[in-house]
Amino acid sequence: MLAVSSENPIVEDAFGWARKRALDWVQTGAAPGNLPSYWAGYPSRPLFYARDVCHQAAGAHLLGLDAENLAMFRHFVRSATPARKWYPLWAFHFDGRIAEIDYHHDEHFVREIPAVFDLTYRALEQYDWTGDRRWLDEPDLAAYYRHSIGEFVDAHDADGDGVPEASGTGDIFVGTATYNEQDAPLVVAGDGLALQYAVLRKLGLDERAERIQAMFLNDWWNGEWFARGRTKDGLDFTWGLESHWIVAMTGLSGTGAQNERFLDYLEAQLEQRPPENIEAFSYLPEVFFRHRRDESAWRWIQHLIDSRDDYPEISFTVVQHLVAGLLGLVPDAASASLTIDSHLPAAIGRLTADHVRVGGWDLRISQQGRHTTEITVHSGPGPLTVTVGQAAPHLLEPGRTARVSTQSKDLS
Q: How far apart, in whole angstroms, are the C-alpha atoms of residue 351 and residue 398?
A: 22
Query: Among 96-100, 157-161, 168-172, 276-280, which is the least confidently predicted range?
Result: 168-172
Query: Among 170-184, 203-217, 252-266, 278-292, which is the least confidently predicted range?
Result: 170-184
Mean pLDDT of 184-188: 88
Q: Which domain holds residue 379?
A: 350-411
Read off the pLDDT of residues 359-395 as tens digits, 9 standing for 90 and up: 999 999 999 998 999 999 999 999 999 999 988 999 9
> What is the per-residue pLDDT for 234?
95
8-state DSSP, 184: T
Asked if residue 383 belongs to a domain, the reply is yes
Helical packing angle, 139-149 and 190-202, nearest 10°: 130
Q: Residue 343's CB: how many other CB atoms inside 10 A?
A: 25
Q: How far apart, in whole angstroms, are the C-alpha atoms of residue 207 and residue 187?
A: 24
Q: Which amino acid is at 111?
A: R
> What is the per-residue pLDDT for 410?
40
Three-state DSSP at 256 gives coil
Give the ranges where 80-205 is alpha helix by DSSP (H).
Answer: 113-130, 134-137, 139-149, 151-156, 190-202
Question: In terms of residues, how long is the chain?
Answer: 412
Asked if residue 29 belongs to a domain, the reply is no
Q: Is the pLDDT of residue 411 over 60?
A: no
> What is the per-residue pLDDT for 183?
65
* pTM of the predicted structure, to 2 decimals: 0.97
Asked if residue 188 belongs to a domain, the reply is no
Phi-psi region of 85 (alpha: psi -120 to 50; beta: other; left: phi over 0): left
Averaged confidence pLDDT in the chain: 96
> What is the per-residue pLDDT for 181?
84
Q: Residue 214's CB: how many other CB atoms inside 10 A?
A: 11
Q: Is the pLDDT of residue 121 over 90?
A: yes
Q: What pairs with residue 353 in β-bridges?
A: 4, 365
pLDDT band at residue 409 using 50, 70 and 90 as cut-offs: very low
Asked if residue 280 belongs to a domain, the reply is no
Asked if residue 357 belongs to a domain, the reply is yes
> What is the per-residue pLDDT for 255?
97
Cβ(259)–Cβ(246) below 8 Å = no
> 290-323 in b/e burial notation, b at 16+ Cβ within 10 A?
bbebbebbbbbbbebbeeebebbbbbbbbbbbbb
| Percentage of residues of the chain with pLDDT beyond 90 | 95
Phi-psi region of 398 (alpha: psi -120 to 50; beta: other; left: phi over 0): beta
Read off the pLDDT of residues 310-323 as tens digits, 9 standing for 90 and up: 999 999 999 999 99
Read off the pLDDT of residues 133-160 as tens digits, 9 standing for 90 and up: 999 999 999 999 999 999 999 999 999 9
Asked if residue 374 belongs to a domain, the reply is yes
| DSSP E strand boundaries for 131-284 | 188-189, 229-231, 234-236
pLDDT band at residue 406 using 50, 70 and 90 as cut-offs: confident
- The secondary structure of 362-389, three-state, reads EEEEEEECCCEEEEEEEECCCCEEEEEC
Q: Residue 5's CB: how many other CB atoms inside 10 A?
A: 14
Cβ(408)–Cβ(402) below 8 Å = no
Among 397, 344, 399, which Cα is nearest to 373's? Answer: 344
> What is the per-residue pLDDT for 170?
80
Q: Is the pLDDT of residue 247 over 80?
A: yes
Q: Is the pLDDT of residue 124 over 60?
A: yes
Asked if residue 399 belongs to a domain, the reply is yes
Q: How far apart, in whole angstroms, are the C-alpha atoms of residue 163 and residue 166?
A: 10
Asked if residue 147 belongs to a domain, the reply is no
Read off the pLDDT of residues 252-302 as tens digits, 9 standing for 90 and up: 999 999 999 999 999 999 999 999 999 999 999 999 999 999 999 999 999
**61 Cβ contact list (under 8 Å, min separation 6):** 69, 126, 129, 130, 357
Among 160, 228, 234, which Cα is nearest to 193's? Answer: 228
> What is the per-residue pLDDT for 211?
98
Read off the pLDDT of residues 69-96 as tens digits, 9 standing for 90 and up: 999 999 999 999 999 999 999 999 999 9
